[in-house]
Amino acid sequence: MSFRHIFVASIGNPSPTYSNTLHSAGHTVLSHLRVWLHTSPFRKSRIHASGLLSDDPRDPYWILWQSPSLMNISGKPVHTAWRTFLSSLNTAEERKSARLVLVHDELELPIGKIKVRQGEQSAKGHNGVKSVMATLPKGTDLTKVGVGIGRPASRESNDVAAYVMRKMTEAEVDIMADVAGQVSEIVRDMSNGVR
């Protein structure tokens, strides 16, 4: 069986200020995904755009990475980290089959639900996803995993901004841990060539 190399990147706002805010749900899920996939504690990686990196040298088929930038300008660091990841692969075949998985918050989904979309599909108004899609080279094998954070009753922009910037409750953090289990299955399937 041939395995695909998977680079799992989360976008959100930087910690510690924005840790466990709804808008940084992607980072929260990745923190829990590290446990599900048995990768190393996150560490800063200068060559990966100074993001936080987690890997497992014994099972090098997936690497987890958290963007260090503000959400709406995530594109450049994601592109830099992705390019560095590709350059670390040994063969042209490995680089060609590698996949970028982008984990981000999804306002239009109930909390804890996930939606998987291919890269060419719309960013659905998500500025962080738009930034990433605008900077990646055409033809990048991108899969977007939207993590539901729910939506406030009001559609007023100030109310929505306050909602996404609030800290998650303990119960919501637990939900994100469960979501990480679902995402781990997606990553394993992709690595095994099932998705």
How confident is the model at residue 145, as a pLDDT?
Answer: 96
How confident is the model at residue 40, as a pLDDT?
Answer: 95
Which band of pLDDT confidence, cut at 50, 70 and 90, is reported for residue 195?
A: confident
How confident is the model at residue 143, as a pLDDT?
Answer: 94
Which band of pLDDT confidence, cut at 50, 70 and 90, is reported for residue 123?
A: low
How confident is the model at residue 56, as a pLDDT?
Answer: 87
pLDDT one-digit tens code per residue, 132-144: 999 999 889 999 9
Which band of pLDDT confidence, cut at 50, 70 and 90, is reported for residue 1?
A: very low
Neighbours of 166 (CB within 10 A): 15
Contact between residue 130 and residue 122 where contact means Cβ atoms under 8 Å apart: no
How confident is the model at residue 16, as a pLDDT?
Answer: 87
Measured CA to CA, the distance from residue 67 to residue 114 in angstroms comes to 20
Percent of the chain with pLDDT over 90: 83
For the cut 70, the answer to whether the pLDDT of residue 55 exceeds it is yes
For the cut 50, the answer to whether the pLDDT of residue 46 exceeds it is yes
- Of the residues 5, 23, 27, 32, only one is catalytic, namely 23
Average pLDDT of every residue of the chain: 93
What six digits make up the tokens of 37?
Answer: 């996939």
Measured CA to CA, the distance from residue 174 to residue 130 in angstroms comes to 28
- Residue ranges of alpha helices (H) inside the chain are 25-37, 75-88, 92-97, 127-135, 157-165, 170-191
Residue 23 designated active-site: yes
To the nearest 10 degrees (0 to 180), the angle between helices 170-191 and 25-37 is: 60
pLDDT one-digit tens code per residue, 77-120: 999 999 999 999 999 999 999 999 999 999 989 999 999 998 77
Residue 49, exposed/middle/buried by CB under 10 A (0-12, 13-18, 19+)?
buried
> 0.75 cut: is pTM over it?
yes
